[in-house]
Amino acid sequence: MRDRIIVTRQPPGRAVERLDSHGDVWMWPHDREIDHSVLEEKMRSATALYCMLTDRIDRDLLESAGDLKVISTMAVGVDNIDLDACREMGIAVGHTPEVLTDSTADMAWTLLMAASRRIEEAVAYVKNGQWGRWEPGALLGLDVARTTIGIVGMGRIGQTVARRARGFDMEILYFSRSPQPHAESEHGAVRVEFDELLDRSDHVVICCALTDDTRGMFDADAFARMKRTANVVNIARGSIVNTDALRDALTSGQIRCAGLDVTDPEPVPADHPLVALPNCTVIPHLGSATERTRIAMADLAADNLIAALAGASMPARIV
Ligand code: DGY
């Protein structure tokens, strides 16, 4: 009997065509997230699931899916999937590391620079006709070169952010559960405790995975430790940061600015107070959003799924 593959959203490129020759594919036909009730119904007979980071794959859903052998997510982050339940039920899980590392690190740098140099305010200044003459004191921002960057999470993306920081002659601090000797020897990064990183960094870049340990890690106490000139960039997951605490820190001048690719809630409503702040640049979870990267992610997710169905080892298996 052919495998029954559920695809929760059209991925870019030819991934679905490739899946077609390995089973009977059903794909959510709309250009928005799949309705959870539809996913529940489809999962009852699925043997494989190709999903997105926006799909909630919880224990209830997994328990209703009697024949499921594999989940392949088109993302590196897997916080939307109950991995413990997958382990218990013997469901293989694949994800898409490596292929998005450069694009996501580039986006961290885009936000770091944009927030530091007040690009959003500057663009509005021009568009609103405020640019009357050159002003010696208008829109002054923060330095990047020869400052200190603090990277929270020194995995692949954190290390790539660090590599780029060397080009700006920055001092590189990092906080990570375990030492990362490669980051230290290759990029001169120095491992410090979280509090020290907050105390000393001019730019704090959040690159860690969302786990029970990191959820809400950036709270009012964390912001209170930072320099009043600090810039906070989050390219990881929104709920690592307590949104109210961040809003308060940005409003009160506790920190200078922020650049967010991810938010909590996500999507953040257009009328959310964070969005209105002039010192907060918010973009809609675009870390991996280049054509080449998204196609590579779609293909790797297909490779993972096809390999698992064939009983072969998945190129990027997490469970
Ligand atoms: C991921 O893959 O987890 C990223 O957040 C996508 O940009």
- pTM, full prediction: 0.97
**8 confidence band (pLDDT: 50, 70, 90):** very high
- Residue whose CA is closest, atom 4 of ligand 1? 75
For the CA of 288, the closest atom of ligand 1 is 7
Q: Is the pLDDT of residue 11 over 90?
A: yes
> 158 CA distance to ligand 1 centroid (A)?
14
Whole-number average pLDDT of the chain = 98
For the CA of 235, the closest atom of ligand 1 is 5
Sheet holding 48-51, edge to edge: 24-27, 4-7, 48-51, 70-73, 92-94
For tokens 């961290």, the residue is: 108
**196 confidence band (pLDDT: 50, 70, 90):** very high
Give tens-digit pLDDT for 94-127: 999 999 999 999 999 999 999 999 999 999 999 9
Burial 97-110 (b: 16+ CB within 10 A, else e): bebbbbbbbbbbbb
Quick check: is 36 catalytic?
Answer: no
- Residue whose CA is closest, atom 2 of ligand 1? 75
> 288 CA distance to ligand 1 centroid (A)?
6
Domains of the chain: residue spans and CATH: 4-99+292-309 (3.40.50.720), 101-282 (3.40.50.720)
> What pLDDT is recorded for position 27?
98
Q: Is the pLDDT of residue 88 over 90?
A: yes
**312 confidence band (pLDDT: 50, 70, 90):** very high
Q: Is the pLDDT of residue 66 over 90?
A: no
What is the rounded average pLDDT of the residues 270-276?
Answer: 97
Q: Is the pLDDT of residue 287 over 90?
A: yes
Give pairs for 84-91: CB < 8 Å, separation 24+.
Answer: 85/58, 85/59, 86/62, 86/319, 87/319, 89/62, 89/63, 91/62, 91/319
For the CA of 75, the closest atom of ligand 1 is 2
- Pocket probe mutation, ligand 1, options 156, 288, 293, 297, max atoms within 8 Å of Cβ: 288
What is the rounded average pLDDT of the residues 54-79?
Answer: 97
How far apart (Å, rounded) are the C-alpha atoms in residues 200 and 193?
11
- Pocket probe mutation, ligand 1, options 79, 100, 237, max atoms within 8 Å of Cβ: 100
Q: Is the pLDDT of residue 1 over 90?
A: no
- Residue whose CA is closest, atom 3 of ligand 1? 77
For the CA of 73, the closest atom of ligand 1 is 2
Give tens-digit pLDDT for 135-169: 999 999 999 999 999 999 999 999 999 999 999 99
Ligand 1 binding site (Cβ under 6 Å of any ligand atom) = 53, 75-77, 100, 287-288
Give tens-digit pLDDT for 198-244: 999 999 999 999 999 999 999 999 999 999 999 999 999 999 999 99
> 71 CA distance to ligand 1 centroid (A)?
16
> 139 CA distance to ligand 1 centroid (A)?
32
